[in-house]
Amino acid sequence: MVFSSKRRRITSIAALAMGAACVLTACGGESDTGASASGAPAASAAGGIKLIKDGKITTCTNVPYEPFQFNQGNKVVGFDVDMVDLVAKKLGVTQEIVDIDFAVIKSGAALNAGKCDVAAAGMTITDERKKNLLFSDPYFDATQALLAKKGTGVKSLEEVKAKGLKLGAQASTTGLDYVKEKGLNPTEYADSPKELLGLQSGQADVIVQDLPVVLTWLKKPEIASKFELVASLDTGEQYGIGMKKGNDALAKAVNEAFTAAKSDGTYEQIYMKWFGKKPGELGVS
């Protein structure tokens, strides 16, 4: 019996050691040779580009983030969805969408784990995120905005701070980073709907969010009747499609699809569809 117990302990220790080795070497994830998370060879698309599923380009996103990605009936639609569809068409595949926490997207963990081929989630390109992700060329010029209850009487972050108003921001976003750099300490909300609810319920007096998202909210009468855009914050941000570092072939295909769309007018059509204005005119009254 003593010998048997010792063998069981040795076996357990060996199993734990193998498990630890697996974690350190990303065992079971996509390898440089194109193996999928299951260990089987990855599927191929046009040009020999490796994808995690046959006939599909899988997109990690965070829903809802209207108008970039949100649920419409039983489908996820939006500007980002249409942009990735351009890539899917180029590769001769269809798009499949995975809804996942934004923090897992921006860290690169979802891509490294083989959850998706690309990440499209209204994601600003930053030097910090470049450490974990390979980004496409920019496809959207972004800026931040302040949304407040009508009558608040503020027109800037400085006034929000001076009046001691309660500020809200979405966690893991550049909007949050921006206001923190300006010396504010906002309440953090897990996603944009919770952030808006925080404003509506009085938990926050003002919230910071991407301008297109704020403008989309204000199209709804129940929001426009009580809240208003009080400031645009020109942060010089640009969105990019995220991919696993080293996946240069897929990045090349993404960039080519976007370049072609901008040349033939398709990009402007998609932009007008979701924002109602031409590129460069967003936020202009």
CA 59 – CA 111 distance, rounded (Å): 9
Average pLDDT in the 177-203 region?
97
Least confidently predicted of 23-37, 156-170, 201-215, 217-231: 23-37
Whether residue 219 is contained in a domain is answered as yes
pLDDT tens digits, one per residue of 69-102: 999 999 999 999 999 999 999 999 999 999 999 9
In this structure, the answer to whether residues 185 and 107 fall within a common structural domain is: no
> Does residue 207 carry a pLDDT above 70?
yes
In this structure, the answer to whether residues 131 and 155 fall within a common structural domain is: no
In this structure, the answer to whether residues 189 and 260 fall within a common structural domain is: no
Whether residue 220 is contained in a domain is answered as yes
pLDDT tens digits, one per residue of 210-222: 999 999 999 999 9
Whether residue 178 is contained in a domain is answered as yes
Mean pLDDT for the chain? 87
| Residue 222 belongs to domain spanning | 143-237
Given this model, what pLDDT does residue 74 score? Answer: 94
pTM for this predicted structure: 0.79
pLDDT > 70 fraction of the chain, expressed in percent and rounded? 82
Whether residue 74 is contained in a domain is answered as yes
pLDDT tens digits, one per residue of 2-24: 334 433 343 443 443 444 333 33
Average pLDDT in the 120-128 region?
96
Give the pLDDT band of residue 68 (cuts 50, 70, 90).
very high
Joined together, the tokens standing for residue 160 give 């929000």
Question: Given the structure tokens 């499949």, which residue do they identify?
Answer: 96
Answer whether the bond into residue 279 is a cis peptide, omega within 30°: no
Whether residue 174 is contained in a domain is answered as yes
- CA triple 124-86-57, angle to 5 deg: 80
In this structure, the answer to whether residues 207 and 269 fall within a common structural domain is: no
Give the pLDDT band of residue 174 (cuts 50, 70, 90).
very high
Given this model, what pLDDT does residue 282 score? Answer: 84
In this structure, the answer to whether residues 95 and 158 fall within a common structural domain is: no
In this structure, the answer to whether residues 149 and 173 fall within a common structural domain is: yes
In this structure, the answer to whether residues 61 and 129 fall within a common structural domain is: yes
In this structure, the answer to whether residues 225 and 152 fall within a common structural domain is: yes
Answer whether the bond into residue 64 is a cis peptide, omega within 30°: yes
Nearest to 216 by CA among 58, 88, 65: 65
In this structure, the answer to whether residues 269 and 214 fall within a common structural domain is: no
Residue pair 253/137 in contact (Cβ under 8 Å)? The answer is: no
CA 225 – CA 214 distance, rounded (Å): 14
Give the pLDDT band of residue 46 (cuts 50, 70, 90).
low
Residue pair 139/255 in contact (Cβ under 8 Å)? The answer is: no
Average pLDDT in the 36-65 region?
78
The number of folded domains in the chain is 2
Average pLDDT in the 48-54 region?
92
Looking at per-residue pLDDT, the higher value among 202 and 283 belongs to 202
Here the CATH number for the domain that contains residue 199 is 3.40.190.10
Residue pair 26/112 in contact (Cβ under 8 Å)? The answer is: yes
| Chain CA centroid to CA 89, Å | 21
Give the pLDDT band of residue 284 (cuts 50, 70, 90).
low
Whether residue 285 is contained in a domain is answered as no
Q: Are strands 167-170 and 187-189 parallel, antiparallel or unpaired?
A: parallel
Joined together, the tokens standing for residue 170 give 């979405």
Given this model, what pLDDT does residue 283 score? Answer: 67
Nearest to 139 by CA among 247, 274, 49, 233: 274
Whether residue 280 is contained in a domain is answered as no
Looking at per-residue pLDDT, the higher value among 71 and 27 belongs to 71
Given this model, what pLDDT does residue 43 score? Answer: 65
Helical pair 266-275 and 248-264, crossing angle rounded to 10 deg: 80
Average pLDDT in the 236-251 region?
96
Whether residue 6 is contained in a domain is answered as no
In this structure, the answer to whether residues 131 and 266 fall within a common structural domain is: yes
Question: Given the structure tokens 């499209």, which residue do they identify?
Answer: 120
> Does residue 122 carry a pLDDT above 80?
yes
Average pLDDT in the 37-49 region?
59
In this structure, the answer to whether residues 158 and 134 fall within a common structural domain is: no
In this structure, the answer to whether residues 219 and 161 fall within a common structural domain is: yes
